[in-house]
Chains A and B, each alone.
Chain A
Amino acid sequence: MKVVLENLTKRFASRTEKGKDVIAVNNFNIEIPDGQLIGLLGPSGCGKSTALNLISGLEVPSEGRIFFEDKDVTKLPPEERGVGLVFQNYALYPHLTVEQNIIFPLQNLKGSQKMSKEAMHAKALEVAKLVQIDALMERKPRELSGGQQQRVAIARALVKIPNVLLLDEPLSNLDARLRLQTREELRRIQRETGVTTIFVTHDQEEAMSISDLIIVMKSGVINQVGKPQDVYDEPVNLFVAQFLGTPAINTLEGEIRDGKLYIGDEAVLDLPGKEDRAVYVGIRPEGFVLDPDGPFTCALDRVEVMGRDVSVVFTHEKMQAGRNMRAIIPAESAAGVSGGTVRFTLKPNKVFVFDKESEERV
């Protein structure tokens, strides 16, 4: 089901009388297409979970409206919206077995939707099979591993066939290995059910790897919406550029002068038709090419071998304080790098220039 957010805003009153209200979600306008997996991405405290709670109905928006397809659900309580919600800590009822947990939402159905016991068990078994926990139906949640609990939580959210499935940091309680496995699983389940799914995460890699669409948020404001690759390739501002990608983008101070991009005294790139101004330069780690005659000179720190690639760590006087710069270079071309200075040419499509004042892309 398509989800449309219109001017959605959530303000929390300040705890102190004089303090300013906290705007957790600021004027969201977005249309989430039917049947897709959406990653809502942002640093912690940026209002992602609040946005999710607004869609689920657990929080009431201060302003704006929410539509599922053409139906305005803004004023509907959570149980009437037909959403499935998976909590960060899963919130499985600890005193109920896996099966009882999954059946719980079905038992709450009223009126014509009421199901017979057999139908409920059949339905529970069906979703349990989908998430591959059908062998664990008699266990209590505490007897399950984190990953299994996660699946039960998803099964419970799916059993009513929700219009929208919402997941709050679904992978953050799992260890690294399980996280990789589970995100594949999440992708598969979403594909099989075709339920519009929105998941919140602060892990950009996670969001990029499985989402059809990512929404990058900062301090309650949507910064960019797009396909993961598009957002990575064309960040609209410095924040988005820095937030996506591992290793992170290298940021330096620079200047546009006479149609050229200067870092320090070196003109590293041609930028015809751009106005002169002070800028931040973001260079993706894969945007460097070793070149003895290259225009960009840096002080080499060390070379880290990673097998297929090497990671060249270096410093530059114009770089952001406290961080080293890092270039990822194919291992075969990195032979002979040692000591002193290194010179690079830059791949133009891996270099982003942002206005120093607004931090918007130039």
Chain B
Amino acid sequence: MKNNLKAWLYLLPAILFLAVFMVYPLIDVCVYSVEENYNFASQQATGIGIDNFRHVLSDPYFVQALKNTFLIVIITVPLSTGFSLLISLGLSSVKKLQNTFQTIYFLPYVTNTLAVGLVFMILFKKTEYTDGMVNLLISWFGGTGVDFIEGPYWAKMFVMCFYTIWVVMPFKILILTSALASVNQDYYKAAKVDGASSFRIFTKITLPMISPTVFYLIITGFIGAFKAYSDEVALFGTNLNAAGMNTIVGYVYDMLYGNSGGYPSYAAAAALILFGIVFTITYINLTVSKKTVQYV
């Protein structure tokens, strides 16, 4: 009994911290999400129900945010993982300057998001003085420029995905390069003696060997992409709804603090919907992985 008390005492700081900053907010979100017509000023609600969810799901801004988020996830996660894998394979097969290349590929990771956003503005934004570098290139090759920041939806989505892929790749390359390096060289030698082609060595040996790492990157990639927000702000500014480039997290933020702010119930409902989506996707990922990922 005495020991028990001591144990709880030791745990107290962590429990307090977790309770105040994790458990209470979690419960609070759930409570907010079902309080109908909650008024922030008077802290009063008219009743309990699922009206908030109904409102959020029928809000065109939320639907747009949902669509944007899904597009970003579906486009950027496979592409960034695939490109990272290609680059890592390339990196692990060059011997000279490998460290230099690794450093170069890692640079975006240590660069500030907003600074990178600024660079992308220079590359893509049309102003009165210049059309932006990419448009310049397009016109050199005889195409007609397009406003990537304030122009058509597909152009904005392209820049968005391009940016996201560019930002998330360094980390993936780093992880994949070390995973590739940790594969015992004897397997490759054995496969070579066994007469396997490079492609077969990659699909039958390399990929299964690094599959836990690839899987980890896919899961964290999905979760990260679903939570995208700051990258959008860096490119399109804070009024994402006007740009039509809002994301679910952006919508939650707007509901709380944006121009149309002051709706914690809608924010909570949207956040819970996002949680449901991420949970479902992760569950599917885990199920699929049981069949494909090789833990040795």
Tell me the A residues contacting B by CB distance below 8 Å: 56-58, 77-80, 83-85, 87, 89, 91, 93-95, 104-105, 107-109, 142, 156, 160
Complexed CA–CA distance, A95 and B294 (Å): 6
For B195, B196, B205, which residue has the most chain A Cβ atoms within 10 angstroms? B195
Q: Is B208 an interface residue (CB 8 A)?
A: yes
Q: Is B186 an interface residue (CB 8 A)?
A: yes
| Contact partner, B296, options A91, A95, A108, Cβ 8 Å | A95
| Contact (Cβ within 8 A) B193 A85 | yes
| Contact (Cβ within 8 A) A56 B193 | yes
- Taking A91-B187, A93-B187 as contacts, is the C-beta distance between A58 and B197 under 8 angstroms? no
| Contact (Cβ within 8 A) B194 A104 | yes
In the assembled complex, how far is the CB of residue B207 from the closest CB belonging to chain A, in whole angstroms? 10
| Contact partner, B208, options A77, A79, A95, Cβ 8 Å | A95
Complexed CA–CA distance, A156 and B209 (Å): 19
In the assembled complex, how far is the CB of residue B109 from the closest CB belonging to chain A, in whole angstroms? 30
Q: Which residue of A lies closest to B187 (CB)?
A: A91
- Taking A94-B296, A95-B294, A108-B200 as contacts, is the C-beta distance between A79 and B193 under 8 angstroms? yes
Complexed CA–CA distance, A62 and B197 (Å): 25
A-B residue pair count with CB separations less than 8 angstroms: 60
What chain B residues lie within 8 Å of A85 (beta carbons)? Answer: 189-190, 193
| Contact (Cβ within 8 A) A58 B187 | no
In the assembled complex, how far is the CB of residue A90 from the closest CB belonging to chain B, in whole angstroms? 9
What chain A residues lie within 8 Å of B204 (beta carbons)? Answer: 93, 104
Complexed CA–CA distance, A95 and B186 (Å): 15
Complexed CA–CA distance, A105 and B193 (Å): 8
- Taking A95-B208, A95-B209, A95-B296 as contacts, is the C-beta distance between A87 and B186 under 8 angstroms? yes
| Contact (Cβ within 8 A) B186 A91 | yes
Q: Is B54 an interface residue (CB 8 A)?
A: no
- In the assembled complex, 16 residue pairs joining A and B whose CB atoms fall closer than 8 Å, in A order, are A78-B192, A78-B195, A79-B194, A79-B196, A80-B195, A85-B189, A87-B186, A87-B189, A91-B184, A91-B186, A94-B294, A104-B191, A104-B196, A104-B204, A108-B196, A108-B200
What chain A residues lie within 8 Å of B187 (beta carbons)? Answer: 91, 93
| Contact (Cβ within 8 A) B205 A83 | no
What chain A residues lie within 8 Å of B208 (beta carbons)? Answer: 93, 95
Complexed CA–CA distance, A85 and B192 (Å): 10
| Contact (Cβ within 8 A) A105 B296 | no
Complexed CA–CA distance, A107 and B192 (Å): 13
Complexed CA–CA distance, A85 and B296 (Å): 23
| Contact (Cβ within 8 A) A83 B193 | yes
Complexed CA–CA distance, A156 and B196 (Å): 13
Q: Which residue of A lies closest to B196 (CB)?
A: A108
In the assembled complex, how far is the CB of residue A262 from the closest CB belonging to chain B, in whole angstroms? 53
5 tightest Cβ-Cβ pairs between the two chains A and B: A79-B195, A95-B294, A91-B186, A105-B194, A94-B296
Contact flags B197-214 to A (C-beta < 8 A → 1, else 0): 100100011001100000
What chain B residues lie within 8 Å of A94 (beta carbons)? Answer: 209, 294, 296
| Contact (Cβ within 8 A) B192 A142 | no
Complexed CA–CA distance, A105 and B195 (Å): 6
Number of interface residues of B (CB under 8 A): 19
Complexed CA–CA distance, A87 and B294 (Å): 22
Complexed CA–CA distance, A109 and B195 (Å): 7
| Contact (Cβ within 8 A) B186 A58 | no
In the assembled complex, how far is the CB of residue A155 from the closest CB belonging to chain B, in whole angstroms? 12
In the assembled complex, how far is the CB of residue B29 from the closest CB belonging to chain A, in whole angstroms? 42
Q: Which residue of A lies closest to B192 (CB)?
A: A78
| Majority secondary structure of chain B interface residues (helix, strand, loop or mixed) | helix
Complexed CA–CA distance, A93 and B201 (Å): 11
Complexed CA–CA distance, A250 and B189 (Å): 42
Complexed CA–CA distance, A248 and B47 (Å): 94
List 8 additional A-B contacts (Cβ < 8 Å) besides A79-B196, A108-B194.
A78-B193, A84-B193, A85-B193, A94-B296, A95-B208, A104-B204, A156-B190, A160-B195
In the assembled complex, how far is the CB of residue B209 from the closest CB belonging to chain A, in whole angstroms? 7
| Contact partner, B192, options A58, A89, A109, A160, Cβ 8 Å | A58
| Contact (Cβ within 8 A) B194 A91 | no
What chain B residues lie within 8 Å of A56 (beta carbons)? Answer: 193
What chain A residues lie within 8 Å of B189 (beta carbons)? Answer: 58, 85, 87, 91
What chain A residues lie within 8 Å of B205 (beta carbons)? Answer: 93
| Contact partner, A156, options B186, B192, B194, B200, Cβ 8 Å | B194
What chain A residues lie within 8 Å of B192 (beta carbons)? Answer: 58, 77-79
Complexed CA–CA distance, A91 and B189 (Å): 9
What chain A residues lie within 8 Å of B191 (beta carbons)? Answer: 104
Complexed CA–CA distance, A163 and B191 (Å): 17
What chain B residues lie within 8 Å of A160 (beta carbons)? Answer: 194-195
Complexed CA–CA distance, A107 and B201 (Å): 12
- Taking A104-B204, A108-B200, A142-B296 as contacts, is the C-beta distance between A91 and B190 under 8 angstroms? yes
| Contact (Cβ within 8 A) A89 B193 | no
Contact flags B168-193 to A (C-beta < 8 A → 1, else 0): 00000000000000001011011111
Complexed CA–CA distance, A89 and B187 (Å): 10
For A84, A95, A107, which residue has the most chain B Cβ atoms within 10 angstroms? A95
For A89, A93, A94, A156, which residue has the most chain B Cβ atoms within 10 angstroms? A93
| Contact (Cβ within 8 A) B193 A58 | yes
What chain B residues lie within 8 Å of A109 (beta carbons)? Answer: 195
Contact flags B238-269 to A (C-beta < 8 A → 1, else 0): 00000000000000000000000000000000
Q: Which residue of B lies closest to A78 (CB)?
A: B193
In the assembled complex, how far is the CB of residue A57 from the closest CB belonging to chain B, in whole angstroms? 8
Complexed CA–CA distance, A104 and B200 (Å): 10
Complexed CA–CA distance, A78 and B188 (Å): 12
Q: Which residue of B lies closest to A168 (CB)?
A: B186
In the assembled complex, how far is the CB of residue A13 from the closest CB belonging to chain B, in whole angstroms? 13
In the assembled complex, how far is the CB of residue B78 from the closest CB belonging to chain A, in whole angstroms? 23
Complexed CA–CA distance, A142 and B208 (Å): 15
Q: Which residue of A lies closest to B209 (CB)?
A: A95
In the assembled complex, how far is the CB of residue B202 from the closest CB belonging to chain A, in whole angstroms? 13
Complexed CA–CA distance, A156 and B190 (Å): 10
